């Protein structure tokens, strides 16, 4: 009879594995989610901080261009003359035209002159329908700051132009008395129009959190509550309206639904609304010298897809490992079940087979060893032949690449210096030159790629001018080193032969290389390439000015491992002969009547001449 404790243990074992798998899935899911969320938030924060830094540099540059312009205007006699005689039409006209000229020259939005009572006497837009002349700006903080003797800075919505702008002001002094204020208005809308990242929005806020620059038009003059609040203090809204800073613009809070913070303290915002709904990471920096806070609101939508991908890959890997573990466990149990049954049969079979197969095993081992030694010798020979050919190629390629590489280095150094000097537009020319040099290097390397590529030659065709250029690139360094001349006529350049460029170049490189070695003692070696064509065939001859070939050499010249040199494997001409035959052609050797050896390569013509 089965005891209750035994039944409990059996049931526990039955459910233990599913429970372990479920627990492991929960733990892996939790860990993957937290890791993906942490890494995703870190990447989004890093991208947002980089964008914030770039935008702040651009914003500071825009403001710095006009920062000292009011101080310069405050020293001009045209403006001081008008302040001393405000009713004089000639002085008014001179001041207006001077401000218009300064405005057009410096690229400011508006420039104007205010007397000590806050009344505008002259303006750059004096001839426009909405001129500032006659307006009272005594309520503006930039006027009050200048009248107190300092330089004013203030952002506001123009109550006349209805255009957002950043205002710089400076006091105008006469006999140690402040008699007026010079003001320059800068339009910052161009900065927000140049931003084009769909996953990041730029916000520039005043000290109260009112957004006055934003890449989302419907967020302008919205209020972002501070100190973790979802809604702003009503008294703050009353104070903002009383300041007339954004006159006639409705200041409303952003539709915040939820606020949170990351472990590093960056706010996480959940917004509602037709266009702004979503989750965002806020990265900001205070610019105290400008009285504003610049922020990047990064959309967290990529975080969801990152977490989903991580969970998919991670859980897939976990279940694959779990399935593998279950398979291995089941396999192990089956092996244990059959191991005992097979053990005796295996032992008996091994005893009978061991004696009968010992001799066959020894013979087989010797045969394997001989085959391995033969294969190793063959591989070594083939590799040595490849290295010998590549040694010739590398000299030509190195010679041709030195000049463009030197030029690329010079253009790159000049581009870096231009970037350090703040002239990125001038770098484009250097980059264009580098691109041209890279194309030139690619053209130089093309013969090497064709030479090294292994492919089926069936159906491949090659023009003679392409073959000639490839051989000159590959052998250029060696020819220059030996002071050798290569005479290759060009009248048949348009002829097309059967065969891929790589194998044809291998044959000619080998023939030209042998010719150079045959003329090692000649101070002015010359190699003549002859080309003759018929309707069906193309014949290339390679003649050197060396001593020629002996009778023995002519009889065995194309046999493997035959060589007349002290160095070399004797495989080059054998391989070349087989390449010619594989292309349906032939390669022969003879002595020229006038001296020297001549090799004749006959190939099939691909562009048949009309009958």
Q: What is the pLDDT of residues 428-479, one digit of tens each?
A: 777 777 877 676 666 566 655 555 555 555 678 899 998 898 888 878 778 8
SS3 category, 2: coil
Here the tokens at position 605 are: 């013509």
Please tell me the least confidently modeled range out of 116-130, 284-298, 384-398: 384-398
Neighbours of 272 (CB within 10 A): 12
pLDDT at 440: 61
Here the tokens at position 194 are: 């140049």
SS3 category, 470: helix
Give the list of residues 6+ apart from residue 468 with CB closer than 8 angstroms, or none: 488, 490, 493
Highest mean pLDDT among 102-106, 377-381, 422-426: 102-106
Q: How far apart are alpha carbons 89 and 95 in whole angstroms?
A: 10
Give the list of residues 6+ apart from residue 211 with CB closer than 8 angstroms, or none: 203, 204, 205, 219, 220, 221, 222, 223, 224, 254
Mean pLDDT, the chain, whole residue set: 80
pLDDT at 600: 94
Instruction: Pick 457-604's CATH classification: 3.30.930.10, 3.40.50.970, 3.30.390.50, 3.30.565.10.
Output: 3.30.565.10
% the chain with pLDDT above 70: 84
pTM surpassing 0.85? no
Instruction: Taking residues 315-320, report their average pLDDT.
Output: 86
Answer for the pair 76, 105: CB distance below 8 angstroms, yes or no.
no
Instruction: Taking residues 43-51, report their average pLDDT.
Output: 83
Banded pLDDT at 383 (limits 50, 70, 90): very low
Backbone angles phi, psi at 204, to 5 degrees: -120, 120
pLDDT over 90 (residue 598): yes
Q: How far apart are alpha carbons 485 and 519 in whole angstroms?
A: 12
Q: Does residue 409 or residue 497 have the better pLDDT?
A: 497
Q: Does residue 62 or residue 312 have the better pLDDT?
A: 312
Banded pLDDT at 339 (limits 50, 70, 90): confident
Choose among 515, 561, 517, 565: nearest CA to 541.
515
Q: Does residue 449 or residue 10 have the better pLDDT?
A: 10
pLDDT at 305: 79
pLDDT at 368: 79
Q: How far apart are alpha carbons 388 and 157 in whole angstroms?
A: 79
pLDDT over 70 (residue 566): no
pLDDT over 90 (residue 602): yes
For helices 464-482 and 501-518, the axis angle rounded to 10 degrees is 30
Task: Report CA 538 to chain centroid distance, whole Å.
Answer: 48
Instruction: Taking residues 270-284, report their average pLDDT.
Output: 76
pLDDT over 70 (residue 371): no
pLDDT at 121: 92
Statement: 69-187 belongs to CATH 3.30.450.20: yes
Q: How far apart are alpha carbons 568 and 178 in whole angstroms?
A: 98
pLDDT at 442: 67
Q: Does residue 125 or residue 249 have the better pLDDT?
A: 125
Banded pLDDT at 590 (limits 50, 70, 90): very high
Here the tokens at position 54 are: 């770039």
Instruction: Taking residues 576-583, report their average pLDDT.
Output: 87
Q: How far apart are alpha carbons 466 and 127 in whole angstroms?
A: 71
Backbone angles phi, psi at 37, to 5 degrees: -65, -45
Task: Report CA 41 to chain centroid distance, whole Å.
Answer: 23
Please tell me the least confidently modeled range out of 67-76, 268-277, 313-322: 268-277
Banded pLDDT at 588 (limits 50, 70, 90): very high
Please tell me the least confidently modeled range out of 315-324, 355-364, 470-479, 545-554: 355-364
Q: Does residue 575 or residue 183 have the better pLDDT?
A: 183
Q: Does residue 497 or residue 20 have the better pLDDT?
A: 497
Instruction: Taking residues 577-581, report their average pLDDT.
Output: 88
Q: Does residue 495 or residue 8 have the better pLDDT?
A: 495
Query: What is the chain's length?
Result: 611
Please tell me the least confidently modeled range out of 165-169, 296-300, 524-528: 296-300
pLDDT over 80 (residue 370): no
Answer for the pair 461, 498: CB distance below 8 angstroms, yes or no.
yes
Banded pLDDT at 378 (limits 50, 70, 90): very low
Highest mean pLDDT among 71-80, 246-255, 293-302: 71-80
pLDDT at 396: 55
pLDDT at 277: 76
Instruction: Taking residues 537-557, report their average pLDDT.
Output: 89
Instruction: Taking residues 260-273, report their average pLDDT.
Output: 78
Choose among 169, 161, 162, 113: nearest CA to 140.
169
Q: How far apart are alpha carbons 254 and 252 in whole angstroms?
A: 7
pLDDT at 210: 82
Answer for the pair 166, 142: CB distance below 8 angstroms, yes or no.
no
Q: What is the pLDDT of residues 204-259, one digit of tens each?
A: 887 777 877 777 777 777 777 777 777 777 777 777 777 777 766 777 787 777 77
Highest mean pLDDT among 206-220, 350-364, 375-389, 590-604: 590-604
Instruction: Taking residues 5-11, report their average pLDDT.
Output: 66
Neighbours of 535 (CB within 10 A): 9
Banded pLDDT at 413 (limits 50, 70, 90): confident
For helices 572-582 and 501-518, the axis angle rounded to 10 degrees is 140
pLDDT over 60 (residue 2): no
pLDDT over 60 (residue 392): no
% the chain with pLDDT above 90: 15
Instruction: Taking residues 75-95, report their average pLDDT.
Output: 90
Q: How far apart are alpha carbons 319 and 21 in whole angstroms?
A: 9
pLDDT over 50 (residue 379): no
Backbone angles phi, psi at 557, to 5 degrees: -60, -35
pLDDT over 60 (residue 62): yes
Q: Does residue 191 or residue 277 have the better pLDDT?
A: 277
Q: What is the pLDDT of residues 193-218, one digit of tens each?
A: 666 677 878 888 877 778 777 777 77
SS3 category, 399: helix
Q: Tell me the domain boundaries of the chain.
A: 69-187, 457-604
């Amino acid at each position: 009879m089965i005891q209750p404790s035994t039944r409990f243990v059996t049931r526990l074992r039955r459910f233990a594995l599913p429970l372990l798998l479920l627990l492991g899935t929960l733990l892996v899911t939790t860990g993957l989610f937290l890791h993906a969320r942490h890494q995703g938030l870190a990447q989004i924060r890093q991208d947002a901080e980089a964008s914030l830094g770039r935008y702040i540099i651009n914003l500071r540059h825009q403001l710095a261009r006009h920062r000292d312009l009011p101080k310069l205007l405050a020293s001009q006699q045209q403006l001081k003359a008008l302040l001393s005689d405000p009713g004089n039409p000639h002085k008014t006209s001179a001041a207006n035209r001077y401000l218009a000229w300064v405005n057009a020259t410096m690229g400011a939005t508006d420039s104007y002159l205010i007397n000590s009572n806050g009344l505008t006497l002259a303006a750059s837009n004096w001839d426009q329908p909405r001129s500032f002349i006659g307006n009272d700006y005594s309520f503006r903080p930039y006027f009050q700051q200048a009248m107190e003797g300092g330089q004013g800075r203030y952002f506001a919505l123009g109550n006349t132009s209805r255009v957002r702008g950043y205002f710089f002001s400076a006091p105008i002094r006469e006999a140690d008395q402040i008699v007026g204020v010079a003001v320059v208005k800068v339009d910052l809308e161009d900065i927000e129009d140049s931003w084009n990242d769909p996953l990041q929005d730029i916000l520039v806020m005043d000290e109260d959190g009112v957004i006055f620059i934003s890449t989302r038009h419907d967020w302008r003059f919205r209020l972002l509550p501070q100190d973790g609040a979802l809604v702003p203090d009503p008294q703050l809204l009353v104070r903002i309206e009383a300041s007339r800073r954004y006159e006639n613009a409705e200041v409303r809070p952003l539709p915040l639904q939820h606020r949170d913070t990351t472990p590093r303290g960056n706010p996480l915002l959940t917004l509602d609304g037709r266009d702004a709904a979503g989750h965002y990471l806020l990265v900001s920096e205070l610019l105290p010298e400008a009285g504003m806070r610049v922020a990047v609101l990064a959309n967290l939508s990529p975080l969801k897809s990152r977490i989903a991908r991580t969970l998919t890959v991670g859980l897939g890997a976990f279940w694959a490992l779990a399935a593998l573990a279950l398979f291995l466990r089941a396999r192990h149990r089956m092996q244990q079940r059959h191991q005992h049954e097979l053990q005796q049969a295996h032992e008996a079979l091994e005893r009978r087979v061991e004696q009968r197969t010992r001799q066959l095993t020894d013979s087989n081992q010797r045969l394997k060893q001989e085959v391995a030694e033969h294969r190793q010798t063959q591989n070594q020979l083939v590799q040595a032949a490849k290295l010998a050919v590549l040694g010739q190629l590398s000299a030509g390629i190195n010679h041709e690449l030195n000049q463009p590489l030197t030029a690329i280095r010079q253009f790159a150094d000049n581009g870096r210096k231009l970037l350090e000097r703040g002239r990125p537009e001038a770098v484009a020319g250097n980059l264009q030159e580098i691109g041209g040099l890279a194309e030139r290097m690619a053209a130089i390397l093309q013969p090497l790629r064709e030479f090294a590529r292994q492919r089926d030659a069936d159906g491949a065709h090659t023009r003679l001018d392409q073959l000639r250029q490839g051989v000159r690139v590959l052998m250029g360094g060696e020819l220059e080193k030996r002071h050798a001349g290569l005479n290759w006529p060009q009248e048949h350049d348009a002829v097309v032969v059967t065969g891929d460029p790589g194998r044809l170049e291998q044959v000619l490189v080998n023939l030209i290389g042998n010719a150079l070695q045959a003329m090692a003692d000649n101070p002015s070696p010359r190699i003549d390439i002859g080309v003759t064509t018929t309707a069906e065939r193309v014949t290339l001859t390679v003649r050197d000015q060396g001593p020629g070939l002996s009778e023995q050499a002519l009889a065995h010249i194309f046999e493997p491992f035959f060589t007349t040199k002290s160095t070399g494997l004797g495989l080059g001409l054998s391989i070349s002969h087989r390449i010619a035959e594989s292309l349906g052609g032939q390669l022969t050797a003879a002595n020229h009547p006038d001296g020297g050896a001549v090799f004749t390569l006959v190939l099939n013509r691909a562009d048949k001449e009309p009958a």
